[in-house]
Structure 1
């Protein structure tokens, strides 16, 4: 007897199922993928710093930050959970994803670095409303910034050093690296850099 192939899930079915799970999942090619757990403290510190800075800078703007508990739909039916982001759309309190994501950020880790900077990068670039993608290096004060130019084409730049600032003119804010890396002690000789 032939075995029936499992059907890919819709985003509605995925979110209904995810709502009953203890762990966080992403939806990839129609099937749930459990996310890695147990980030290092440095990852958590940078993520909290970024969300705190975004909350403070966006207050009153109509845009709000979101954490990795929320999500973005990259391709139809594909759900990703960046570490942080900015949603400038009308937020439904009962929804599970950003209505109009304008920025997503990933704090890199050894286990997800390649997935984030290669596969997820291509997916994030496909989101029409997205203006900025940040890849934050935890081993040094360095952020790879992907942003759209006037023709909406993607350009990459690097912002380095604790005195540097990430300018986000489309949102009317700037993020000082000194704030993102507040409380972070860098290794004497980083094993990974240059995202």
Structure 2
């Protein structure tokens, strides 16, 4: 692993190297980086939201040209960059032996305390460069809140969704995500009442 990290890899080299690894990596500036470098794995809350999103999108997109994928599938973000979103919607015909999406329309990152900053800054900017992406969705796990980046021509507009009654409409993939579905079975920490603490 140490030798591989020192080498600069192309995505093609990376996919060959990744097959012999015991965990998932991303390719950042030509160097393999463990996907959960700062995590011991995903929490149950993170996992539940991720599975809920896949189930909801999978049911809505069944029989259509777009399908959800897991973090096993990569998105190319630069000549020497590959990321693995928690969920992606791929709209290209299936190629059984490929490891990356060819026409992704949606990427979803479900927040973890150790990855929130990079998800909301560097990764968002990397994702925006992908020519086929229509949406970038960032989902919180400590509260029912999501941030949607929507491509409008050459620009991106941002919309915040809060509360379990909100519904995220993504017409470009022919699907919606109800916040109640994303957070089905989730448990949120009690909100601190700052007024009573004063």
- Provide the TM-score with structure 1 as the length reference: 0.91
What is the distance in 2 between the residues matched to 1:143 and 1:125? 17
One of 170, 173, 176 as aligned partner of 2:172:
170
In the alignment, the residues of structure 1 paired with residue 169 and residue 55 of structure 2 have an alpha-carbon distance, to the nearest angstrom, of 17
1:50-101 deviations in Å (ceiling 9; x for gaps) = 0111100111111110011111001122000000010001221111111111
Give unpaired runs (5+ residues) of structure 1: 1-5, 191-195
Structure 1 distance, partners of 2:94, 2:82, is 17
Shift of 1:152: 3.5
Aligned to 1:139: 142
Q: TM-score, normalised by structure 2?
A: 0.90
Q: 5+ unaligned residues in a row in structure 2: which ranges? A: 1-5, 193-198
Contact 2:139 2:146 in 1 (8 A): yes
Q: Decide whether the 8 Å contact of 2:107 with 2:135 is kept in 1.
A: yes
Matched, 1:35 2:51: no
How many residues get paired? 184
Is the 1:72–1:97 contact (alpha carbons within 8 Å) kept by the matching residues of 2? Answer: yes
Q: Secondary structure at the match of 2:78?
A: coil
Q: Distance in 2 between matches of 1:119 and 1:152?
A: 19
User: Counting helix residues as a fraction of each chain, which structure ranks higher?
Assistant: 2
1:114 to 77, 102, 117: 117
Corresponding position of 2:195: none
Asked if 1 retains the 8 angstrom alpha-carbon contact of 2:56 and 2:177, the reply is yes
* Contact 1:43/1:107 (8 A) holds in 2: yes
Superposed displacement of residue 7, structure 1: 4.5
Instruction: Extract structure 1 runs of 4+ deviating beyond 6 A.
Output: none
Give, in whole Å, the separation in 2 of the partners of 1:93 and 1:107: 26
- For residues 18-66 of structure 1, the C-alpha deviation after alignment (integer angstroms, 9 at most, x for no partner) is 0111111001111111121411110000000001111001111111100
Give distance in 2, aligned partners of 1:84 and 1:173: 14
Structure 2 residue 63 is the aligned partner of structure 1 residue 60: yes
2:183 aligns with one of 181, 184, 188? 181
Q: Deviations over 1:130-189 (max 9, x none)?
A: 00000001011110000012x241000101111110000111211111000000011102
C-alpha contact 1:62 1:88 (8 A) present in aligned 2: yes
Aligned-CA RMSD value: 1.1
Q: Contact 1:166–1:176 (CA<8 Å) still a contact in 2?
A: yes
